[in-house]
Amino acid sequence: MIPSLEDYDISPLWGFLPSQLPLTRLPQDYYAQWETIADNLPSLILTKRIRNVIDKLPLLTIDNLNNDEREYRRAYQVLGFLGHAYIWGTDMPIDKLPLQIAEPWIAVADKLGLPPVGTYASLCLWNYKQIIPSDDILDLDNLTCINTFTGAIDEHWFYLVSVYFEQKGALAIATGMEALKCAKEGDIPMLTKNLQQMAETIDLLGTALMRMEEMCDPHIFYFRIRPYLAGWKNMASVGLDNGVFYGNEKAPRGYAGGSNAQSSLIQFFDIILGVKHFATGDLKADSSFMDEMRQYMPRKHREFLTALEPYSTTIKQIVQAEEDKELTLAFDACLAMLKAFRDKHIQIVTRYVVLQAKKINKMGSNSTLRSGLARKKQNGEEKGTGGTSLLPFLKQCRDETGNAAAGSWGKRILTDGMLRLKYSKPNGINEDD
């Protein structure tokens, strides 16, 4: 049976965002010290007091939380901000989390089925609130972030763009599921209509992504914000050779940091349209980066993607069997828009990471924070906060998108690049770099 959105905490209006506004604070006085530190995180990082303050915390358990998903999410979120600030909040990272953070973070992460590390969910999906109280929770212009590391407008905007992106994607989820239903029932006219609408919605997501440039400066993102988003996997070049020790554990843990690859929305598109991805050269041969990132998604969302996977070829098979030109064009238009979206993502990454990394040698800084995590980097591919090589991974995902085209004409133009949008390349960056 085709999975139902409601069974997996997915809303036709909010998509993978929660249908209720996230908690801005844990209601129990017992956790007030966590919340006070989170409220003052930018100042504590600025004065380099964050580790000293956290070291003085008492060891709190999660036993005083009500058996409530929103409270678990808030505890996971606030501990994530404190944990990442502790590791990255001074000039040099530290490879050990104190028991006061490690123990409750592990416990609440286990409750949620997530790793104890900052994730896309804790940074974006559960990190927004209303500016002015209103009954209209769909008013995106009335939202701001609950927590940041820096307090900068740029950091608020960086997270909020993902909130906008996820909410705008809700229609594409509902339309894609309706298209799948039509394919199962053999309703070709409605399948065509839903695919056309889905293509238009994916196109809008590219516009939402490009809003990043409105209020988030690339230099500030790379050198002031990005270091706090990193995890402790593949971070030997900046001092975390083996990962991070949690409390009294004898072996270190290695986790990827928050990454847009942890968005369930993009993987939803790949599944519904039959796009297949394969491991890149720098990853394990038996596991792709996309599969790994699914483990950082909220439990019900990744269960939804797993339940949807048996239907990954359903729509494409109907499209190919019908040989209906309008239907084929609608399906290939979805892929064209998804590929165009990935082109825009590459453009953003180029401006916000790759070009900024080229400044490192000119700056001559030995501080991890001041160098945007590229302090010891001289040559080679820039790594993302998720731990993989950025441009090779993103370009491969983009190129693999075109391989799912149903029509011979669509396959030719998608794989040959005739539909690739021609964006102006920033100075110093070539498509083949």
Q: Which CATH number belongs to the domain containing residue 153 in this structure?
A: 1.20.58.480
Six-digit token string for 171: 């229609």
Domain count, the chain: 1
Of the candidate ranges 146-150, 192-196, 356-360, the one whose mean pLDDT is the lowest: 356-360
Of the candidate ranges 195-204, 238-247, 351-360, the one whose mean pLDDT is the lowest: 351-360
Of the candidate ranges 97-106, 271-280, 318-327, 400-409, the one whose mean pLDDT is the lowest: 400-409
Six-digit token string for 90: 């001074």
Whole-angstrom distance, CA of residue 205 vs CA of residue 268: 14
Six-digit token string for 240: 């975390």
Six-digit token string for 106: 């592990």
Q: Does any domain span residue 192?
A: yes
- What is the reported pLDDT for 198? 97
* pTM score of the predicted model: 0.90
Longest CA span, the chain: 68
Q: Does any domain span residue 368?
A: no
Six-digit token string for 37: 């530190």
Q: Which of 114, 130, 131, 43 is nearest to 79 (CA)?
A: 114
- What is the reported pLDDT for 431? 45
pLDDT in tens, 373-389: 754 444 455 666 555 56
For the cut 90, the answer to whether the pLDDT of residue 8 exceeds it is: yes
Q: Does any domain span residue 366?
A: no
For the cut 60, the answer to whether the pLDDT of residue 428 exceeds it is: no
For the cut 80, the answer to whether the pLDDT of residue 352 exceeds it is: yes
Q: Does any domain span residue 376?
A: no
Six-digit token string for 148: 């940041």
Mean pLDDT of the region 11-32: 96
Return the half-sphere exposure (C-beta side, CA atoms, 13 A cut-off) of residue 382: 25
- What is the reported pLDDT for 382? 63
Which burial class, exposed, middle or buried, applies to 69 when counting CB atoms under 10 A from its CB (0-12, 13-18, 19+)?
Answer: middle
Residue 118 lies in domain: 6-360+387-416
- What is the reported pLDDT for 283? 42
Q: Does any domain span residue 380?
A: no
Helices (H), 113-243: 120, 153-168, 170-185, 188-210, 212-215, 218-220, 226-229
393 vs 149, higher pLDDT: 149
CA distances from 20 to 5, 52, 179, 252, 425 (A): 16, 35, 27, 36, 40
Q: Does any domain span residue 411?
A: yes
Q: Does any domain span residue 313?
A: yes
For the cut 80, the answer to whether the pLDDT of residue 369 exceeds it is: no
Mean pLDDT of the region 18-47: 97
For the cut 60, the answer to whether the pLDDT of residue 423 exceeds it is: no
pLDDT in tens, 154-209: 999 999 999 999 999 999 999 999 999 999 999 999 999 999 999 999 999 999 99
- Does the annotation list 277 as a binding residue? no
pLDDT in tens, 64-122: 999 999 999 999 999 999 999 999 999 899 999 999 999 999 999 999 999 999 999 99
CB 176 within 8 A of CB 16: no
Beta pairing partners, 96: 245
Q: Does any domain span residue 80?
A: yes
